[in-house]
Amino acid sequence: MRKVWIDAGHGGKDPGAVGNGLQEKDIVLVLSKGIKQRLESDYEGVQVLLTRGMDVFHELRDRTAAANKAGADLLVSIHCNAGGGAGGFESFRYTNASAASKSLQDVLHKEIMAALKAFAVTDRGQKAANLHMVRESKMPAVLTENLFIDVAAGAAKLKRQDVINALIDGHVTGIAKYLGLKKREAAATVSDKVTVIVNGKRIADGKLESGVTYVPLRAVGEALDAKVGWEKETKTATLTKF
């Protein structure tokens, strides 16, 4: 079982970046919970652990300590940006990052940008910085900055569900690709077709809807040598056996 640690930045008394009617802590919590739901439902052999699943505050040292103690295979810290002029998406690894962290950043960044392609989001690049979440994590770790809350165009995108879904998809696909996760097989579709046999003879199929079986009346009538009538005004069907 592979363990993925998703860290929703800020929370509780710390709203993170604020602007255009949005708070960073709210956006990143939605993204984090969406990543967990999608990864666990779409892929086999993966458990997603969250720093927070609600609006609470955790110190940085407690976040990395919990991820390290859990023995997570990778960590992704989710954030939104501010103060970046034209806005866009960027990702960070530690300045002295391991080859594994560089590989995770490369895969994750590319998949997120691919998911955002339809939304004209500027690629600000893969960067390195001395950030606590990527420095103190004992596993491959990347911090993503998902658009700019204080840039009107970025905030407008973050208010759209299709953009939120794209950000979730990009993170999920990148993590799954890095870990080599196998997609779950789609559940077999339950057929609503009903086999209808009259006097030992199979006729046209019927249909099952909400526990009710519907059969083709004319085909049943013909199989019984009966006459089928239809009254248009009253919407009445009749079956008369001669």
Which tens digit of pLDDT belongs to each residue from 47-70? 999 999 999 999 999 999 999 999
CA gap 233, 41 in Å, rounded: 50
Model-level pTM? 0.78
Mean pLDDT score, 145-151: 97
CA gap 202, 193 in Å, rounded: 13
The H-assigned helical ranges of 91-241 are: 99-115, 132-135, 152-158, 161-179, 217-223
pLDDT cut 90: percent of the chain above it: 75
pLDDT value at 191 more than 70: no
Residues annotated as catalytic are: 145
Which pLDDT score, from 0 to 100, does residue 203 have? 75
Which tens digit of pLDDT belongs to each residue from 111-126? 999 999 999 999 999 9
Which pLDDT score, from 0 to 100, does residue 33 have? 98
Which tens digit of pLDDT belongs to each residue from 195-211? 878 776 677 788 887 66
- AA identity, residue 173: T
Q: Where in the chain is the domain with CATH 3.40.630.40?
A: 2-179
Which pLDDT score, from 0 to 100, does residue 227 have? 75
CA gap 177, 156 in Å, rounded: 30
pLDDT value at 188 more than 60: no
User: What fold characterizes domain 2-179?
Assistant: Aminopeptidase (3.40.630)
pLDDT value at 39 more than 80: yes
